[in-house]
Amino acid sequence: MKNVTIAIQRRGKLRAGSQQFLERKGVLPYIDDSVLRSSCEQSGSDILYLRDDDIPEYILRGVADYGIVGENVVYEKSANVTIVQRLGFGLCNLVIAVPNNSGITSVSELDGERIATSYPNILQRYLGKQGVRASIITIQGSVEIAPELNLADAVCDITQTGNTLKEHNLRPLEIILKSEAVLIKNEL
């Protein structure tokens, strides 16, 4: 029988949790995070170690059968994958935040404002539902400094503790997604 291929994050916040989840299922990944691919003979699985953003793509293209990834990534990619199981780790929130000194106190006041984010699709859908039209600026990282550089009036970013927001004098306005790690597979 063909091995089952499972894609997990190579380096990052989900790696340890993904590793433990697989171990509990009898699949033994390599510990060394320089390895990109390994096999676990006793469980009949191949494990791929990827950038988490890329995992849905591997699933969609049928190269991996299962993947472990944050819901935020699944929804951002609008990936046609099936969530098999919620895994209870990698908890985080996708939050809209504004500078402490901003006059903005509600999502509706974001109309016409600039919002920097690495999650333009989730944000666009959320704002669309609220009937708010903002200018979305897509950047890949260091989103929290966008307001102080006058690149944006607000941010939409992932937080776990809220500390990064505080450090950059940002105050949360609204949680638009509560996310955790999920096991996904191809929809078909």
Partner 1 sequence: MKTIIEPKILKGTRDFLPEEMAKRNYVMSTIKAVFERFGYDTIETPVIEYQETLLGKYGEEGAKLTYAFEDNGKRKIALRYDQTVPTTRVVAKYGNQLPMPFKRYQISRVWRADKPAKGRYREFYQCDVDIIGSDGILADVEIAKVISNVFTKLGLNNFQLRFNSRKLINAILDALDVAKDNQSFVIQRIDKLGKIGLEGVAKELQEVLNKSQIEEIKNILNITGTTAEKLQQLKKYDISEVQQFEKLCREFGVAEENLVFDISIARGLDYYTGIIYEVELPGIDIGSVCGGGRYEDLCGMFTRQEYSGVGVAFGFDRIVLAMEELGLLKQVGLNAQVLVTYFDDEIISSNLEIVNELQAANINTELYIEPAKLGKQFKYANAKNIPLVIVCGSDEIQNDEVTIKNMLTGKQKTVPRKQLATYITGLDI
User: Is 136 one of the binding residues for partner 1 (CB under 8 A)?
Assistant: yes
Nearer to partner 1, 23 or 111 (CB): 111
Ranges of H-type helices in the chain: 15-24, 55-60, 71-76, 120-130, 163-167
Q: How far is the CB of 112 from partner 1 (least distance, A)?
A: 5
Q: How far is the CB of 60 from partner 1 (least distance, A)?
A: 19
Among 57, 113, 174, 180, binds partner 1 (CB under 8 A): 113
User: Is 114 one of the binding residues for partner 1 (CB under 8 A)?
Assistant: yes
Tell me if 80 sits within 8 A of 176, measured CB to CB: no
Residue 117's closest CA among 93, 98, 90, 144? 144
Distance CA 179, CA 53 (A): 15
User: Is 111 one of the binding residues for partner 1 (CB under 8 A)?
Assistant: yes
Nearer to partner 1, 113 or 180 (CB): 113
Count, residues in the chain = 188
Find all residues with CB under 8 Å of 124, minimum gap 6, and list them.
136
User: Is 124 one of the binding residues for partner 1 (CB under 8 A)?
Assistant: yes
Residue 181's closest CA among 94, 70, 72, 83? 70
User: Is 134 one of the binding residues for partner 1 (CB under 8 A)?
Assistant: yes
Distance CA 180, CA 103 (A): 32
Among 137, 139, 145, 164, binds partner 1 (CB under 8 A): 137
Q: Residue 86: CA atoms inside 13 Å, Cβ hemisphere, count? A: 7
Question: Residue 89's CB: how many other CB atoms inside 10 A?
Answer: 16
User: Is 51 one of the binding residues for partner 1 (CB under 8 A)?
Assistant: no
User: Is 140 one of the binding residues for partner 1 (CB under 8 A)?
Assistant: no
Among 133, 148, 160, 175, binds partner 1 (CB under 8 A): 133
Among 30, 151, 164, 180, binds partner 1 (CB under 8 A): 151
Q: Which residues are near partner 1 by CB under 8 A?
A: 111-114, 124, 133-137, 150-151
